[in-house]
Structure 1
């Protein structure tokens, strides 16, 4: 994949500057070597590579910036497809995209991202159809990848934020604390900070749903400290609902029901029917006549 990406970048710069391969070929680097490099079929030595860049009047730093941009663009395209499929809950679309990512991984086995993308897609497939089990081997692969990665960026947060349903609480807590230990790093980029908050809200919600209230209360306190900006209305409303659900689970039923219904009303008032319906379903799942949790209060 490295050869392919560098060759693709090289070709793009050359064509953008209207330079032919014949013009770049010299006694130091042949036409066939350049052609194979552009197609990703072979590498160039450092000397030949720098000679070719010099012939195009391109600095190595400029070349690497463009190469990084190409790689990012490909992942952005993948994520935009993912968002559309998730909104439509298109399980067949997820399966098609998964096959494409696996095919890319077979072609470029040195690029782990394609394989991780296929695991991420398996998570969406399992969420669409709960009868399909999420393989433990996939979870092991993701866990190994995460704890081998020194710094977690947007992609790592996306993996955790979309696979948390399949992770047991002790491991999920370990991941959550790793995120919290580095949250000051994420604060410099607003997109990262938002994703951190949403991921932690998902972890907190999972702890509540699984009745792991000691873990849950820890995340309630940690997340509250992150919501110090009054413009974070979306996150604050989810926080209010989850605080109510945790209180309800702790048998503080009246307080819990009040917070949950208030959060649902906020989503309704802001014309967010999809969110209101989702949290109404969650409310009804836990607060039902058959649920005896508050009978004695």
Structure 2
């Protein structure tokens, strides 16, 4: 188990729990003692029970074991999101070149490269190769239940897919991810995917489909823990109003959301959404003149 024993011993002793107490009804004292000295391994079910005994989740354990850093993929995505919000095209291109140089024959290697290309395409308008689009689409449909990886991959790449594929895949998102909808971060990522879908539908003039996905979020009744997502629903409602001709009401709703971002000092989000609002207003004015 990758020498997890030393980390487990650290957590157990921090909590003041003895070997005898922790192992009761799970395993032997001698076996856990050997595990903590990295002299043997434990079965996953027993390891999980021991973590529950010391009141530490598996995610917390891995975070501590990895020296208080997230796993490589989460760090990789977090950095890409930061660079995207900053509009740092050069940094994203450098990361793409690094991934290509270090690529192998594994599926996730190619998928990660496609995801970076997709993020670049959203900033620069450069097209993504049709072969990559087909590879991504086939992979997403082939996976029966999406995990965190698939949600993240799709959420950052859906804008390069044909709009009909996006609509079909996004309508399935709660089915493909239903095993994890009670997990806060996973559900937040799912909402993020649906908001991206709404943006794509509006861009393609599919306003009824955009409204469908907005209703999907509202009907899921997000709790107060999702305050940003609830506010984003208001913003996209405003964008849809502007697009359908209710110009003044839509702008007021969107500006209320932008004020919320200013108050919370969400500078990156403020820039992204204020720019999007300006572009929407310009498009509407061009249609009416």
What's the TM-score, normalizing by structure 2?
Answer: 0.72
Cα pair distance change 1:227/1:15, threshold 3 Å: closer
Tell me what 2:120 maps to.
Answer: 125
Superposed displacement of residue 252, structure 1: 2.7
- The number of aligned residues is 243
Tell me what 2:133 maps to.
Answer: 139
Query: Is the partner of 1:13 in helix, strand or coil?
Result: coil
Superposed displacement of residue 150, structure 1: 1.7
Cα pair distance change 1:60/1:98, threshold 3 Å: farther
Contact 2:147/2:177 (<8 A) preserved: no
Query: Is the partner of 1:163 in helix, strand or coil?
Result: helix
Tell me what 2:201 maps to.
Answer: 207
Taking the aligned partners of 2:216 and 2:261, their CA distance within structure 1 comes to 24
Please say if 1:245 is aligned against 2:243. Answer: no
Structure 2 unaligned segments of length 5 or more: list them. Answer: 7-34, 49-57
Contact 2:85/2:272 (<8 A) preserved: no
Query: Is the partner of 1:245 in helix, strand or coil?
Result: helix
Please say if 1:58 is aligned against 2:53. Answer: no
Contact 1:197/1:226 (<8 A) preserved: no
Q: How does 1:30-109 map to 2 (within 5 A)?
A: 56-59=39-42, 61=44, 73-106=71-104, 109=105
Taking the aligned partners of 1:223 and 1:290, their CA distance within structure 2 comes to 26
Tell me what 1:262 maps to.
Answer: 256
Superposed displacement of residue 211, structure 1: 1.2
Taking the aligned partners of 1:161 and 1:290, their CA distance within structure 2 comes to 27
Contact 1:14/1:56 (<8 A) preserved: no
Structure 1 unaligned segments of length 5 or more: list them. Answer: 1-8, 17-52
Please say if 1:219 is aligned against 2:213. Answer: yes
Taking the aligned partners of 1:122 and 1:289, their CA distance within structure 2 comes to 27
Taking the aligned partners of 1:127 and 1:182, their CA distance within structure 2 comes to 25
Q: Which has the larger radius of gyration?
A: 1
Contact 2:243/2:284 (<8 A) preserved: no
Contact 1:98/1:117 (<8 A) preserved: no
Tell me what 2:145 maps to.
Answer: 151
CA RMSD of aligned residues (A): 3.3
Query: Is the partner of 1:151 in helix, strand or coil?
Result: coil
1:282 to 273, 276, 281: 276
Q: How does 1:18-37 map to 2 (within 5 A)?
A: none
Taking the aligned partners of 1:97 and 1:292, their CA distance within structure 2 comes to 38
Superposed displacement of residue 217, structure 1: 1.5
Query: Is the partner of 2:223 in helix, strand or coil?
Result: coil
Superposed displacement of residue 154, structure 1: 1.2
Cα pair distance change 1:13/1:90, threshold 3 Å: same
Contact 1:251/1:294 (<8 A) preserved: no
Superposed displacement of residue 87, structure 1: 4.2
2:111 to 105, 112, 116: 116
Taking the aligned partners of 2:101 and 2:45, their CA distance within structure 1 comes to 31
Which deviates more from structure 2 when the two are superposed, residues 250-259 or residues 283-292? 283-292
CA deviation profile, 1:158-199 (whole Å, cap 9, x unmatched): 112111221222100111011032454232211100000111
Superposed displacement of residue 62, structure 1: 8.1
CA deviation profile, 1:233-272 (whole Å, cap 9, x unmatched): 2112211111011122222333322222222222223333
Contact 1:207/1:213 (<8 A) preserved: yes
What's the TM-score, normalizing by structure 1?
Answer: 0.70
